[in-house]
Structure 1
Amino acid sequence: MEFYQLTYFLAAAQTQNFRKAAELCIVAQSALSRQIAALEDELEVALFTRTKKRVTLTTAGQEFALYVRNAMEQLQEGQLFLAELQAGQRGTIRIGCIESLATAFLPALFASFHQQYPQIRLKVRVNHTDELITSVEQGEVELGLILDPRLQSELLIVKELFRQPLHLLVSALHPLAQRQVPAVTLEQITTEPLLLLDETSRMGQITKRIFTQRGLPIHPLIEIESVEGLKEMVRQGIGVTLTLPALIRPSQIGKDLVLLPITGLTEEFIFALVYRRVGSISRAAREFINTISRQTIPTSSDTSI
């Protein structure tokens, strides 16, 4: 059974005349008649009742026509889907993201992307930076939104999105938040009950490194894996933590939480998009990369990490 045979069949069913059907299909009437006969032989059933001037569908032909029309519609939808897929209009993007960016950065980014590409879906895996880099290398996700990429890999490209310095996150009711001069020093922070993400997170690693490099003691009151749990403890006044502004949702700042600059801490930390250098990524993923690039300020070109 061939596609063109089904096309001839539907044309004949519509026109009830092999000559007119042949004209619609731009084929000789004899060729159309032979192919419909071959289709009937293959199906072992008569699809048309033939008279001198017209043809009409048999009962079997009427039923078969329903299936053929549905199949043709499905095929057209499939062709449209593939065309949109090739154009980056459809598909599913598999993306890895650290937890903080998944709550503070990704939703607004995807909302903007979704307006332009409503048929593209996002499948998000949340994990720590090191694990996400491995996932991108192994092809488990196409893209990774990560913090402070430091690993060396010839397989990956890193696109730097932006950089930010560390800030101190405190409750809006904390005495440090009430001062006219908001900046604090690391020495002042050591006198506060310190809350940290655990060592599996990049933010926890950064905080301990900053204190160790400066010879300052660090004795966390609490170490926790949950970013949201950490922020809630800060909000309730249990302690303070070091973080980056991009990791905090704008709606959380001012009313319940306050970000304070840290004096003498000039180091900035990179937020980056990571994807494979070798192999292909979907057109949809490339459109997502373009969207991120347009919405963030580029600070460097692509490099190996």
Structure 2
Amino acid sequence: MLHRLEFLDLQAFILVAELGSFHEAAQRLHLSQPALSRRIQKLEEILEVELLERTTRRTRLTPIGTDFLPRARRMIEEYESSILGIRELATHQKGTVTIACIPTAAFYFLPSVIRGFSEAWPGIRIRILDVSAKEGLERVISGEADFGINMFSAQSPEVSFTPLLKDPFVLALRSDHPLVDKPRIEWSDLEQVRLITVSRDSGNRILLDNTLSAEGIRLNSFYEVQHLSTSLGLVESGLGVAILPRMTMPGADHDSLRARELPKPRIQRTIGLVRSNSHSISSTAQLFIDMLLERWGNSACT
């Protein structure tokens, strides 16, 4: 309330200064002259200075009042521009949507949605935090990200999860590897080859290890990298094979990489939309979520 009264007091001061008359300013503001005088007096008390000299014939600015007038105008302009900014946000003319997304899903899910979203709301910026599953979850929980695209295994009671797509794991091979043309891949085929894996704290690695351990399957994890893209680079160099989500693989027309289906037990991850249970979603972010669900929401069971 205090800030609102100060704003109105500033308006009153500016109008009196511009018109040089309490009478005319009171009429413009639809106030009585005593009410207008109280506003000016209150402003002077807050600032602890005299802004106006009042005589029976005219009103003029004191030297301090002359210095303060352009500052008061800037305060009004800043206030009005901030109100305009809020209106632009409310009408989705401006704003930022921040998405915490695991890197592989960023390439798969987001480009088509961003393209349509930017055409519909060109003034809204998109900020993508391409981070690990664990870090992405933390960004959503902290409120740094409006929402996330993450794995189902990386969950917390502090978020809700909406599935978007099931992503099976495949065997990544170089095109000249002996297993490329084998009619059917068995787990026993992979016991002696060098397996390129991601670090043990990766959500993908945890999912893979847990599934194989439950079935008593032991593979030769020879190389360990931090990122799935690095493991593909090593596969392409002929250093080994990798088991990774199909989403991470390049297209079928890639010159040197091939994907083969794995035997049972089938390993797959569920990718979905992650929202905080404690932070409300901005209307701008909700627009993006609606478009994302419209594009991918029917793919959760595929």
> C-alpha separation between the residues in 1 aligned to 2:184 and 2:90?
52
Query: Which residue of structure 2 aligns with residue 163 of structure 1?
Result: 166
Query: Which residue of structure 1 aligns with residue 221 of structure 2?
Result: 220
Q: Which moved more, 1:287-296 or 1:109-118?
A: 109-118
Matched, 1:15 2:14: no
Q: How far 1:70 sits from its partner (Å)?
A: 1.0
Q: How far 1:287 sits from its partner (Å)?
A: 3.6
Query: Which residue of structure 2 aligns with residue 295 of structure 1?
Result: 295
> C-alpha separation between the residues in 2 aligned to 1:49 and 1:121?
55
Identity of counterpart residues, as a percentage?
Answer: 24
SS in 1 for 2:253: coil
SS in 2 for 1:73: helix
Query: Which residue of structure 1 aligns with residue 9 of structure 2?
Result: 5
Q: How far 1:169 sits from its partner (Å)?
A: 2.5
Query: Which residue of structure 2 aligns with residue 77 of structure 1?
Result: 81
Query: Which residue of structure 2 aligns with residue 124 of structure 1?
Result: 129
Q: How many residues align?
A: 293
Q: How far 1:160 sits from its partner (Å)?
A: 0.5
**Unaligned 5+ residue runs, structure 1?**
none
Instruction: Read off the aligned partner of 1:146 and give its amino acid letter.
Output: N
Q: How far 1:7 sits from its partner (Å)?
A: 0.6
Q: Which of these residues, 25, 28, 44, is aligned with residue 29 of structure 2?
A: 25
Higher relative contact order (CA 8 A, sep 6+): 1
> C-alpha separation between the residues in 1 aligned to 2:186 and 2:49?
87
> C-alpha separation between the residues in 1 aligned to 2:73 and 2:221?
69
> C-alpha separation between the residues in 1 aligned to 2:101 and 2:274?
10
Q: Deviations over 1:41-86 (max 9, x none)?
A: 654224357573x644444333211111111122223333445556
C-alpha change, 1:176 and 1:69, in structure 2 (3 Å) is farther
SS in 1 for 2:294: helix
CA contact (8 A) 1:235 1:256 kept: no
CA contact (8 A) 1:193 1:221 kept: yes
Matched, 1:97 2:72: no
C-alpha change, 1:91 and 1:61, in structure 2 (3 Å) is same
CA contact (8 A) 2:163 2:300 kept: yes
CA contact (8 A) 2:90 2:283 kept: yes
Structural RMSD (CA):
3.9
> C-alpha separation between the residues in 2 aligned to 1:113 and 1:244?
27
Matched, 1:68 2:44: no
Q: How far 1:202 sits from its partner (Å)?
A: 2.3
Query: Which residue of structure 2 aligns with residue 262 of structure 1?
Result: 261
C-alpha change, 1:124 and 1:263, in structure 2 (3 Å) is closer
Q: Deviations over 1:133-190 (max 9, x none)?
A: 4665576755332224276x5543210011122223234565666x6x9x75244455
C-alpha change, 1:57 and 1:112, in structure 2 (3 Å) is farther
C-alpha change, 1:71 and 1:57, in structure 2 (3 Å) is same
Query: Which residue of structure 2 aligns with residue 206 of structure 1?
Result: 207
C-alpha change, 1:223 and 1:40, in structure 2 (3 Å) is closer
C-alpha change, 1:123 and 1:269, in structure 2 (3 Å) is closer
Q: How far 1:295 sits from its partner (Å)?
A: 2.8
SS in 2 for 1:14: helix
C-alpha change, 1:299 and 1:105, in structure 2 (3 Å) is closer
Matched, 1:45 2:50: yes
TM-score with structure 2 setting the length: 0.74
